[in-house]
Chains A and B, each alone.
Chain A
């Protein structure tokens, strides 16, 4: 469990990306070029091939 950096291989929407990673129902934040955003507010946003996206899982343990 940790943050995960992924390199986008081809142009995709955020919705497509989180769906492919089976993260649609997981609590996560995303970071691209220093900008943090909520995936569900940005489902239609296009991420271009070659971009590096960081997935930040929000956790519950304690």
Chain B
């Protein structure tokens, strides 16, 4: 208990609160800029069990904001979940920590969320958040949405059947390319650190049973140092809150990536048909790589990869041999 003495002193925690934390179980989905800060905070705070899931490997341009990684992890091309857990175990060996190197899909998310008290969202796309939303609603698990881009960030506690859900906020997936990403317009490490710290603080409050939880969408902008809360109402016709339709959890895999035979190329197909503005997407992508619009498709080259994007959102990702990397590149540069 000595390790936590300064935290135990905080009003509302005490020894009994710390004991609650030591028995708690959390799942962090995504181990990038948000996930590394959340994991670091919660391991130091003394949660009992933590599972960290991520599909990616550590890259040099991650080090600006992904606080648990270093140059040796880049050189070894370490999976993020493994590299993070190695560091976290050195920080607090009394926490039981597990790493899962995998893509979170409708096939494995129920197993991953089994028996956890809360889920922390540290992902990088909207589709997976809608999947987390469905799963947590079905199993009545509170989760904490967090997102950051440039100097702008937001977070919200989503408590099934109590607060508005993520489907209330986003009624359907936007067209690929209509959402900016950290890889197209950048992100400051202060933005991700603050949002992740707010998420981890709300997680501790939830685990402690604190009634003073944030019930609003909290929005920050570090450009003008503004912090404000927005009351988000449940949507009148929300398919999840209203009718319990688990569209993203129950979907039958049309967006499963397909490896094209004999080539280092993978096809990604969006979950539903949609129209992408390739000209708009080209303007965004040419800031970070070589983009050419050929009228019927958009070709984008970045690092050793080439993405060919079609007006229906389908894309060929060339230069990759695994589906996880292909999905990651799609989320990074096209964004959903």
Taking Cβ atoms with an 8 Å cutoff, the residues of A that contact B are 1-3, 22, 25-27, 29, 31, 36, 38, 40-41, 56-62
Residues on B with beta carbons closer than 8 Å to the beta carbon of A1: 149-152, 180, 185
The residues of B that contact A3 with a CB separation of less than 8 Å are 152, 219, 221
> Which A residues lie within 8 Å of B179 (CB)?
26-27, 59-60
Collect the chain B residues with CB atoms within 8 Å of residue A58's CB: 126, 147, 154, 169-170
Inter-subunit contact A62/B148 (CB<8 Å): yes
User: In the bound complex, what is the Cα–Cα distance between A4 and B34 (angstroms)?
Assistant: 25
Chain A, residue nearest B183 (CB): A61
Which of the residues B124, B168, B178 comes within 8 Å of A62, measured between beta carbons?
B124
Chain B residue contacts of A62, Cβ below 8 A:
30, 32-35, 121-124, 146-148, 182, 192
Give the residue among A1, A2, A59 with the most B Cβ atoms within 10 A.
Answer: A59
Instruction: Name A54's closest neighbour in chain B (CB-CB).
Output: B230
CB < 8 Å: which of A26, A31, A40, A60 contacts B171? A40
Across chains A and B, the number of contacting residue pairs, with CB separation under 8 Å, is 92
Residue contacts A-B, CB under 8 angstroms, 29 given:
A1-B149, A2-B151, A2-B221, A2-B223, A25-B274, A26-B174, A26-B179, A27-B169, A27-B179, A29-B169, A38-B168, A38-B171, A41-B235, A56-B219, A58-B169, A59-B153, A59-B179, A60-B125, A60-B129, A61-B147, A61-B149, A61-B181, A62-B32, A62-B33, A62-B121, A62-B146, A62-B147, A62-B148, A62-B192
- Judge if B93 is at the interface, Cβ distance under 8 Å: no
Q: How far is the CA of A62 from the CA of B38 in the complex (A)?
A: 12
- A residues within 8 A CB of B178? 25-26
Q: How many residues of B contact A (CB 8 A)?
A: 50
Complex: A58 Cα to B180 Cα, angstroms: 10
CA distance A62 to B33 in the complex (A): 6
Q: Is the CB of A60 within 8 A of B147?
A: yes
Q: Of all chain A residues, which has the CB nearest B122?
A: A62
Which of chain A's residues have a CB closer than 8 A to the CB of B185? 1
Interface of A is mostly: loop
Closest CB of chain B to A19's CB: distance in Å? 13
Q: What's the nearest-Cβ distance from chain B to residue A46, in Å?
A: 19
What is the CB-to-nearest-CB distance from B227 to chain A, in angstroms, rounded to a whole number?
12
| Closest chain A residue to B32, Cβ basis | A62
Q: List 9 additional A-B contacts (Cβ < 8 Å) besides A58-B147, A62-B192.
A: A29-B230, A36-B233, A56-B230, A58-B170, A59-B148, A60-B126, A60-B129, A62-B33, A62-B121
Contact at A31–B154, with CB atoms within 8 Å? Answer: no
How far does the Cβ of A56 sit from chain B's closest Cβ, in whole Å? 7
Instruction: State the 3 A-B residue pairs at the shortest beta-carbon distance, nearest first.
Output: A61-B149, A61-B182, A62-B34
